A = this chain, B = another copy of it.
Amino acid sequence: MYTLINQVGNARRGEFETPHGTIQTPAFMNVATAGAIKGGVSAIDLKEIHCQVQLCNTYHLHIRPGDEVVRQMGGIRKFTAWDGPVLTDSGGFQVFSLAKLRNIKEEGVTFASHVDGRKIFMGPEESMRIQSNLGSTIAMAFDECVANPSEYRYVKESSDLTIRWLRRCNDEINRLNSLSDTINPKQMLFGINQGSTYADLRIENMKAIRELDLKGYAIGGLAVGEPAEVMYEIIEAVEPYMPKDRPRYLMGVGTPTNILEAVYRGVDLFDCVMPSRNARHGHLFTSEGIRNLHNAKYTLDDSPIDPQCDCPACKHFTRSYIHHLFKSGEMLAMRLSVLHNLHFYNTLMEKIRESLESGQFEQFYRQYKETLSLRI
């Protein structure tokens, strides 16, 4: 259940109650693709960096170790030792971005696994069954994610197909939730709005999917090729048609600035691999902009990554040390950097929430944009 605590313009400070804990929104979900954050970060570490929700990838876990394995191990939360909420994506995005030799039909998609080329079929029912086996808190609808830009006619057909798939997802999850041996009988389904960069298709799609009265709604198919300004315009176009009493999730977004702009436009939930991926390459988010720890100028710099940060990396270690670890190829370099970047994102969301609560959001928004937007 979503409760709106305070609203500033379109920006919302809320609470989203789930069977596995309450999520304070706006929130950033930390991406543990195959059941672990890349860079050697465990679910236990996530507590220390203020993570509220872990996001795992259905496609990856279906291929390895297999969702039946995860089910037998008690579900993804028990498997990864994370006791908070977990959102699983539907596999749709990976089918369209990672897998090879796709063949899309009304029933679903046949594709070749990116690991071993094995042929796999996935449709709405399969995606729901996999996510039910994973036992996540929130399951995402199986959708077709089209690249931007795409032809209007193709997007319209695809978006209509996604609506038909969503109805099948909804029927299937209701059936699965009522089974006696299901891992999470209260698994929640989020619908996904599609329609590429066409505002009219987005709105038409949103009107249709809100009819299903789902537990939450996502905006998918953005940040896949279009300029950020177009993304913001689409959010602005579709937001008035999203239910006010449901959380809104902008999938796969983005930079700190992207997130702030989307919160400003009424979005509650986010996820992105950017903080962990950048960290592994030595690109650290700080209150002073991006810092590249590979840079030789950090050789003798005994400050923490960000003097204003109290993450486990900044609390104990210097730029000099982490620079040395990167140069020496020590895994600890990646681990400390990933912890820092995720903490940066989680803390950004905390600051956004605080400013929404205290009514200072507009001020925070303007100040942040002035000092940071050109850099990150």
Q: Hey, which bits of chain A sit against chain B, CB under 8 A?
A: 34-44, 60, 64-65, 69, 72-74, 79-81, 299-300, 302, 312, 316-318, 320-321, 323-325, 327-328, 330-332, 334-336
Contact = CB atoms under 8 A, between A and B. Distances in A.
Contacts of A41: 332
Nearest to A280: B331
A316 B40 contact: no
Quickly give the copy total for this chain: 2
A73 B331 contact: no
Given A65-B328, A335-B335, 14 more contacts: A35-B325, A36-B332, A37-B332, A39-B331, A42-B332, A42-B335, A43-B316, A60-B328, A65-B320, A65-B327, A69-B300, A73-B300, A81-B317, A331-B334
Contacts of A38: 330-331
Contact of A74 (B39, B302, B317): B302
Contacts of A299: 65, 69
A34 B318 CA distance: 15
Contacts of A325: 35-36
Given A69-B300, A302-B74, A331-B40, A318 B64 contact: no
B73 A35 contact: no
A339 to B, nearest CB: 10
Contacts of A44: 312, 316
A42 B339 CA distance: 13
A69 B324 contact: yes
